[in-house]
Each structure stands twice: as C-alpha cells, then as structure tokens.
Amino acid sequence: MNPNNWSLAVYTPGEKELLSMPVSSGNAVAEANGIRVTLSFRQVGDIAFYEASAASDNDASCYFSLVRKNAEEMLSFNGPIEERDVYRQSPHDPKQYHLRMLKQAVPMGAAKTEDGYEVALSDAPYFSDNYTTQEFIPAEKTFLISSGDSGRKPGYEGGLDFLPYYHSVGGEKTHTFRFLIFSSRAKSLARLRLDVFSAIEQCFGEGSGSPYHAICFSTNYMHLRKNETGTSDVWVVAGIEYGNTQYIRDSFWQSMILPADIAAECNRVLTAERCVNAENPLILLLWAYRVYKTGGTPRMDDVKKSLERIRMCTTDGCFHPKVDAHGRHDFRSWFDLCAHTDTDAITYNQGLYATAMHGAYEMGLASKEEYELAAERYRGMFIKDLGIYPVSREKIGLCVDALIGDLLHHLLFGSTILPDADVLSHYRTVCERCTTKYGVKVCAALDGSYNDASFFGIPGYLADYFTDPKYAARPGHYIWGSSYFIYEMLFHIAAHLHGAEEAEQNVINRTMLDLSLGSTYFEHIDTDIGKPNKANQGWNAAIYAIWQQLIDEGHATDRYFREVDQYLNTVE
C-alpha cells in the first residue's frame, strides 16, 4: 500500500473537511475544532485493519471518509466505474422496497494496480447506523468510503433524495469507523469479490480459511442493518434489493450463519402481530423452538399467540393459511404469487406445520396427538399413483419444496417424518423431469414442462404478474419454474438423508452452477435463459450451516465443502 494514495478525512456539517490525516501502517492522533481523532492499526494476515474514533468534550457531529487518490481505474462491488456516482446500502425507510438509488451489497471501492487491485471496504452498515456511502469521482481519480452521508444526489434522474447525515459526538458519545485496506491479485471481478468476502470473514468473522464459508458469512454480515423500527437493535436484510427490512422467513434461514448474539437480536423482531400471513406463524414457532432447544428463552406470549393463530388456520390436522388483509388469494407461502383456495393444503406448509407442532409439544404447549395428526396428514399428501408429493392437494404438479418440513424435523429433532421410499420416489421423479442445465425447476407440470400460467391461479383470480405486460413474466423466470438455490439445495439435502446416493453430487453441482456465474449465490436462475437474479441472497447461507450440522452428526462428509473450496481457489 502506497501511503501517499490514502488519507482519512473528517467531515462536519456543510461538507466541510475538518481535517485530513495520512493512513499508513501505524497509529495516529489528530485534533481540530475540539474533535479528537484517534486512528489505530493492526495487521490481520495481509490485511491492514484500521479503527478510527472521533470524540469531543462538547456536542459536535461528523463522519469519516477513507479517501483513495490516484485511482486511474476504479471498481465498486458491481464492477467498473465510468462516471461520478454515490452508492448507498440503505434508503433509511423500512417500508421502501423499490430502491431508486445506486446500491452495492458491500461498502467498498477498488483501484486498479499493475498486478491487481488495492481494495478498501468499511464495516457492515449497521455499525454506521446504516449511513455507509461510497462516492466515486473518476475525473479526479478519487473515491471515498464513508461512515456518513454528504447528501449528494445519485447519478441518475428519478432517484431518492438523501439528506446529509453526521454522527453525534460529545461527552461519552463517540463515533467509531472500522475499515480494511488490502491488495488483491484478481484478474476478474469474480476473483475480486472472493477476496473481498475472505477479507470480511478474516477480520469480522471466524477466519476459517474456507472461501465458501467466507461467502456465506460475509454476504449476511454485510446485510446487517440498524433496525430503524426499534423492535430490536440489529436485524438482517435479505439482500441489497430489500432496502432496510428484515423478512420473516428469510431471516429464519439467514440467522443460521450469524453469530449467536446477532441471531438472537434478529429473532426479537418476530412478534405474533408481524407473523400473521402465509407460513409466518409457523416460522415464529419453529424459530422459538430453536431458541428453546439451545437454552434460550423464547417470548412465550408471542409463541402462544402464534399457536392460537395456527390453530385458527387448521382443520383436521391440515394447515390452511387465510387470505391476507388485502383479500389476495396468493401469498399463502414463500411461493408468493401462486393462488390457493381457503380449503387447499400446501405440502410445503404442511411439513412446516408438522415440525412446528412437534416443537410446541416439546415446549408443553400442544398435545402429542396434535403433532402426530399433522405429521400423518403430511405423509398422506404423497400420491402413490404418481410417485410424488404435489404442490398442494388441489394443485397437482411437481415441486422441490415439499420436503423442507421433513428436513427441518431432522435438524431440530434428529429424525425425519416422511418414509424413505416416498421421498426417493418423489426426488427421482422431479430430478428426472425437471432438471435443466440451469438447475431444477422449482415447480413444473407432471411431465416436467413449464406450467401454464393458469396453474398459478384459482377460479376468478390470477396474480397481475401473469397478466400485466409490464412484468414481462415468462416460463423459466421467478416462481414460473426458475431454480431457487435454497429450495433446490434443501430438496437435495433432504433426499440425502433418506439415502439418495446421487444427492451429494447434486448438492455440489448446484452450488458450482451459482458460483460459476458470479462467485456467489443468487436467489434464482432463469431456467430458460440461464440468467441469475439477486446476487448474495442472504438465506442461501443456511445451506452451509445445515451441511455442517450433518457432518457433525455423522450424516455427511466434508467432500462438499472441499470440492467447492477447491474450485473457488482456482478462480483468477
């Protein structure tokens, strides 16, 4: 690192640069206008790890910017920078879903060098109250990685407006900004991203040395946000596309890779009032039991209220989620735009219901008969003549998500619910008919072809997604038969537990598919054209934690991890 290229600036209201100090391999102290800045340094492997702290005897406000000058070429996490832009990680509005702002998943910048890149990144947005920003100024060969916001407009019309933001200091109140600087010999954006993930894990995580674990930990670590609703201190967003909101089912999976204290904070967000629609009351109960099993204390009032809600949606041992407050017939499960009648039973939901009721029984809140009836109804959804578990009792089609409740039961209780023969029949039928070169279709017609749009509706109702041209819906995209990383992987892992010898290789192959498309995982891949969507989708990291549990239990080997790491280490 050339110290002449790096400096640490302190900005006060009015975009005034209060002071600037060099950044090198050492500690430093500076003061101006009553604001004292301490910069500390330590070496973590090949990474320079810095911590800057601002303090004052009087009330003041400021933010830090790490400044890189003489950058002939520069990159964000998204790729090369061509014009002046400001990237942000949060819209500062938990209700803002459609993000009209320039964004990148990791608060970073990179400058091209003769043999690779010099990279800088800041700590997770949570630690700067979600106000991390990155400004790139190609004309001045400069970029800034900041802990606050200058309020500068985004580089395109129609974007959200942002007000300046400075952190308050004074008395016992200080502001701390942590950042990393390191060199990468990457020859591609894919390799650069891997080096970024590795640096994050080394400095903020376990430092496992596994590039695959680094992807899983780092994507979710950088999804941490200050919970601006106040229901917890920190929560985890599903991905950069989801603004500053924690989603119930997503965070249930994401929390598996997070540190225990942060996972516990994320769990606090799940109140009975929030977990009303679709399978969300089941998720609350499942997560509560996971907390209970590991020695924690769930919020039993919310657990009991959710259990009451679940019972209101149950008939003869089958779970039937109600129409939501807007009267929509879809959004009955994660498979959101697929409509169902009030009397339909969705196989995925029924599996979660059976496992959740077992948890309720173990916590002394339900009878053994309730759990056993739910499990019996789950097993009974198998159609012997077709050899499959259908999407639901009324929607007879192929799907990958039917086995998830069975797998969760093993993870929480050490045993599966469904018979080996039925699972293997379902698994092999779906794999045979639904496998494409871009993954296994999340759902399909019985012959493996894409469903007609009408399959996703009920008499008198079909989501606008399938009818409004503005959505450009097509077979192969989104729920219309794309391949979802998490649901396909859970499908393969469930089959592995039931003795499918080919499942382990399928787990490896599916992971390699995503990694080959971008050195990370995606929410889903269009199985028609092969386009991946929503990089760094946080819930996918659960797969690492789940496979590690199977290894610890003696139900799997580390071959999966070894082969994935071996591949990632070859990426240039």
**DSSP string for residues in 156-222:** STTPPP---B-EEEBTTB-EEEEEEEEEE--SSHHHHHHHHHHHHHHHHS---S-HHHHHHHHHHHT
Q: What is the pLDDT of residues 186-206, one digit of tens each?
A: 999 999 999 999 999 999 998
pTM: 0.94
pLDDT at 97 over 80: no
Of residues 400 and 322, more confidently modeled: 400
Fill in the amino acid letter for 119. Answer: V
Lowest mean pLDDT among 11-15, 250-254, 456-460: 11-15
Is there a contact between 51 and 177 (Cβ–Cβ < 8 Å)?
A: yes
Overall average pLDDT of the 333-354 stretch: 96
Q: What is the pLDDT of residues 410-441, one digit of tens each?
A: 999 999 999 999 999 999 999 999 999 999 99
Q: What is the pLDDT of residues 70-85, one digit of tens each?
A: 999 999 999 999 999 9
Fill in the amino acid letter for 403. Answer: L
Residue with tokens 């580390």: 558
DSSP state of 307: H
Look at residue 156 in the predicted model and tell me its pLDDT: 64
- Helix axis angle for 485-497 and 420-434, nearest 10°, is 140
Look at residue 327 in the predicted model and tell me its pLDDT: 76
pLDDT at 15 over 80: no
Q: What is the pLDDT of residues 515-549, one digit of tens each?
A: 999 889 999 999 999 999 999 999 999 999 999 99
Cα separations in angstroms, 48 against 26, 45, 145, 195 = 10, 8, 15, 14
The vertex-566 CA angle with 563 and 567, nearest 5°, equals: 90
- Helix axis angle for 280-293 and 260-268, nearest 10°, is 140
Fill in the amino acid letter for 534. Answer: K
Listed residue (176, 134, 143, 165) closest to 12, CA to CA? 165
Q: What is the DSSP string of 417-438?
A: SS-HHHHHHHHHHHHHHHEETT
The dihedrals phi and psi of 432, each to the nearest 5 degrees, come to -65, -40
For residues 501 and 497, give the distance between their C-alpha atoms in angstroms, rounded to a whole number: 9
Overall average pLDDT of the 33-49 stretch: 95
- Helix axis angle for 347-362 and 300-312, nearest 10°, is 140
The dihedrals phi and psi of 555, each to the nearest 5 degrees, come to -95, 0
Lowest mean pLDDT among 20-24, 98-102, 196-200: 98-102
- Averaged pLDDT of the chain: 95
For residues 296 and 454, give the distance between their C-alpha atoms in angstroms, rounded to a whole number: 46
For residues 535 and 289, give the distance between their C-alpha atoms in angstroms, rounded to a whole number: 30
For residues 330 and 457, give the distance between their C-alpha atoms in angstroms, rounded to a whole number: 8
Look at residue 155 in the predicted model and tell me its pLDDT: 61
